[in-house]
A and B are shown apart, each in its own frame.
Chain A
Amino acid sequence: MSTVLAPSPHVRSSVTVETAMYGVILALLPGVLVGAYYFGINALRVMAISIIACLAFEAMALKVRGKDLSPLKDGSAFLTGLLLAMNLPSGIPSWMVVVGALVAIGIGKQVYGGLGYNPFNPALVARVFLLISFPVALTSWPVPKPLSLSLDTITGATPLGEMKTSLLMEGNVGAAAKMNLIDPLIGNMGGSLGEIGALALALGGIYLLARKIISWHIPVSFLGTVFAMTGVYWLIDPTRYAPPTFHIVTGGLMLGAFFMATDYVTSPVTGKGMIIFGVGCGALTVFIRLFGGYPEGVSFAILLMNAATPIIDRYTRPRVFGYPTRKEARA
């Protein structure tokens, strides 16, 4: 008889890294479908290239590091590829997507030691790298054209971009003040291929919450902060500031709040820490959108808060069982 002498516990929950990763991928499906519907074959091109390139770079990096290739199956590189694609305009040249994948997997993840050790969200590192390196390509937003099979596109502005331009030129928010919100809700607006359908993305987010893959803390505090802060500015001066409903449904907020900011590795571990993180993401997003040079700030906000995660964790350590509460300690 040969038995295994493993440490306790001998039973484990069925939740694994894979169930979480593939759960997130599944939750992105509605957003993927909306992107594919409005941006057609181009959206599929960018997604396919990004995912394949991420998997390939992951395999190469593991090989170089002398590791076995099993992490390829954990879903994390696939997810990074999908998230990167969703953060890119559908008209982006293919080679740029490959460069993005290299940055995401190479610089964003594997140099630190792979999944679990990266301080920043790899897909966002790549998106911001591309945005700074190729600003024109990264801000040329194809106009939605349902089920298009053509690789040629006409580009236009995003609602947030239009608002910024109008503010600079006219001194007011222009169309944003009374924009119908149905289009951004269903995805009929300019933007990255995976950030346009607020409803579809929120649906995926609710799925993640229901399956307890993510907790409410980050999305609620992130969205709530954006809503509250933009609401205050809007009440102060509705000609210079768009209504909070506009801010909630446009840009990458839904994608960011449900899928990017909630990345386990790069966000705090306690509920309290997650709320601080979410509020920070929300506040930075609002500041960048309202006062920054870029029309959109979700990516920068999340990356900045990624950097703050270790210190948030440090100051939100739970009170250990059997130790005095802060109140008791003072008394």
Chain B
Amino acid sequence: MANRFRGGVHPDDSKLTSTQAIRRLDQAQFLILSLSQHIGAPSRPVVSVGDRVLKYQSIASPGGFVSMALHAPTSGTVKAIEPAPHPSGRFVTAIIIEPDGLDEALDLTGNADPGLSGGPEAWKETIRDSGIVGMGGAAFPTHVKLSPPEDKPIDLVIANGVECEPYLTADHRLMLETPDEILEGLFLAMEIVGAKKGIVGIEANKPDAAQVMRKADLPDGVSIQILPVMYPQGAEKQLIQALTGREVPTGGLPMDVGVVVQNVGTLAAMNQAVRQGRPFVERVMTLGGPLPAGPGNYAVSIGTPLSHVVEQAGGLKGPAARLINGGPMMGQALAGLDSPVTKGTSGLLAFGPGELRQLRQRACIRCGSCVKVCPASLLPHTLGNMVEFQIFDQLRDFNINDCIECGSCAYICPADRNMVQFIRQGKAELLAMAGK
């Protein structure tokens, strides 16, 4: 491979659950379907408290173009529409459904297009109406990504099977267990955006997945490419650079260089939506870290409280000191397990006391490690120092907004500096200054 992305780090990948086949968990006592579990405007409820809903029934419609529909993951009753726990730590309005245990589903045959006779425009509508968002973590509405303006021709769709975050193995399992769904989804995406080429990018620590994908029935123009293990290769811009050498311009999107990137889970969900008419009501997530008694990969209904996932998988082996929604590099620390699985929940990690290194933040010693590993070629130490000493006016000159918050700088920092925190604060200060 001639290309690689700039910078990057090598955290221990800790892919301890990669041999655990995807298992389905029992339905929880109640589901919390947040109206904001994606990037964009909140969804608008189309059901009322007391309504009985069927599995797959639409319960909220998109609140704008960059927004998303929501569907009931099982049959039951709408108990409330009220502020409820959200992974962000805030309370966000959610539709609370109490499952009735019957799992009675809508007939999907009317929406299904098994022979793919509908054509790209119809498929895109189905994808939008099925509530599909990017499953890699950012939860950006998929139909928006599949709607590049006409002056941005797309020649390549990348299926992102990199899963560069340590611990997470949900995408790995999906590639092993349902390679055809992913490839068919990739075919659909290529048809929709008019791309002739497709690449499935997989890191070298998943050789079995690459092998399974290679043996599967590859659509025309699709190749499987193995990438050397390096974080944050799964970030869109870095993956594009690694696979094509193209650099997404600052402030731009992958479509500016003729590329659309979709996570492998998203592609599988797209395929199910189009061929079977099945809306996005369930996803695969990794339960990992040293603390869960039953670490593994679980297919769970959207809205399932995280506490239910943990309990169903055997609980925790001891008191948790750190709970992480997502991977350990970019995931968010949680105060508890009250919040639900959302469409962007790739994993839940639990660590006990002393299982993560105790940090002691000190002054920057200018070792230059962060400069070397920054995939955006920034000077993270300078940005961190500027924020620490409240010199905000130069942050823009030092390109703070080009930071993707991958955390490579903080990972490598010998002075344990909370670089990502500094940079987020700096970005917020700039926004506040612009607002004045």
Contacts and interface: CB of A to CB of B under 8 A. Distances in A.
Contact of A318 (B249, B377, B421): B377
A8 B332 contact: yes
B328 A114 contact: no
Nearest to B402: A320
B367 A20 contact: yes
B412 A13 contact: yes
Q: Is the interface of B mostly helix, strand, loop or mixed?
A: loop
A12 B418 contact: no
Contact of B412 (A15, A74, A321): A15
A322 B371 contact: no
A4 interface: yes
B330 A9 contact: yes
A269 B322 CA distance: 33
Interface string A1-23: 11111111111111111011000
Contacts of B366: 116, 264-267, 269
Contact of A3 (B334, B365, B414): B334
Contacts of B64: none
B81 interface: no
A269 B252 contact: no
Contacts of B415: 16-17, 116
B410 to A, nearest CB: 5
Given A7-B421, A269-B371, A1 B336 contact: yes
A13 B252 CA distance: 31
Interface in A1-48: 1-17, 19-20
B234 to A, nearest CB: 14
Contact of A13 (B11, B362, B424): B11
A271 B367 CA distance: 11
B214 interface: no
A321 B6 contact: yes
A154 to B, nearest CB: 42
B321 interface: yes
Contact residue range for chain A? Answer: 35 or more
A116 B11 contact: no
Contacts of A267: 366
A317 interface: yes
Nearest to B250: A322
Nearest to B399: A320
A91 to B, nearest CB: 34
B333 interface: yes
B137 to A, nearest CB: 11
A178 interface: no
A114 B363 contact: yes
B347 interface: no
B388 to A, nearest CB: 11
Interface string B7-24: 001011000000000000
Nearest to A15: B414
Contact of B359 (A8, A12, A14, A269): A12
Nearest to B349: A10
B420 A320 contact: no
A92 B89 CA distance: 63
Interface in B125-174: 166
Contact of A115 (B241, B330, B363): B363
A269 B241 CA distance: 24
Interface in B1-44: 6, 9, 11-12
Interface string A108-123: 0000011111000000
B335 interface: yes
Nearest to A212: B369
B334 to A, nearest CB: 7
B247 interface: yes
Contacts of A268: 368
Interface string B393-424: 00000010010010100111111101011001
B299 interface: no
A10 B322 contact: yes
Contacts of A3: 320-323, 333-336
Contact residue range for chain B? Answer: 35 or more
Contacts of B356: 10-11
Given A9-B411, A9-B420, A17-B362, A322 B402 contact: yes
A113 B381 CA distance: 17
Interface string A272-298: 001000000000000000000000000
B226 interface: no
A71 B332 CA distance: 31
B390 to A, nearest CB: 16
Interface in A303-328: 317-323
Nearest to A20: B414
B367 A8 contact: no
B223 to A, nearest CB: 25
A116 B412 contact: no
Contacts of A10: 322, 324, 328-329, 331, 333, 349, 351, 356
A227 B357 CA distance: 44
A58 B70 CA distance: 62
A270 interface: yes
A242 B369 CA distance: 38
A71 B166 CA distance: 32
B248 interface: yes
B319 interface: yes
Contacts of A70: 360
Contact of A321 (B237, B381, B407, B421): B237
Contacts of A16: 414-416
A9 B376 contact: no
A270 B368 contact: yes
Interface in A217-275: 264-271, 274
Contacts of B6: 321
Contacts of B66: none
B185 interface: no
A11 B250 contact: no
Contacts of A14: 357
30 contacts: A3-B320, A3-B321, A3-B335, A5-B89, A7-B424, A8-B328, A8-B329, A8-B330, A8-B333, A8-B407, A10-B322, A10-B329, A10-B331, A11-B166, A11-B411, A12-B416, A13-B9, A16-B416, A74-B362, A113-B363, A264-B365, A264-B366, A264-B367, A267-B366, A320-B250, A321-B402, A322-B248, A322-B250, A322-B402, A323-B399
Interface of A: 1-17, 19-20, 70-71, 74, 113-117, 264-271, 274, 317-323
Interface of B: 6, 9, 11-12, 89, 166, 237, 241, 247-252, 319-324, 328-336, 349, 351, 356-357, 359-360, 362-369, 371-372, 375-379, 381, 399, 402, 405, 407, 410-416, 418, 420-421, 424
Given A1-B320, A13-B412, 6 more contacts: A2-B321, A10-B328, A10-B351, A20-B367, A321-B237, A322-B248
Which 6 residue pairs are nearest across A and B when measured between Cβ atoms?
A: A116-B363, A9-B407, A269-B368, A322-B250, A7-B421, A318-B377
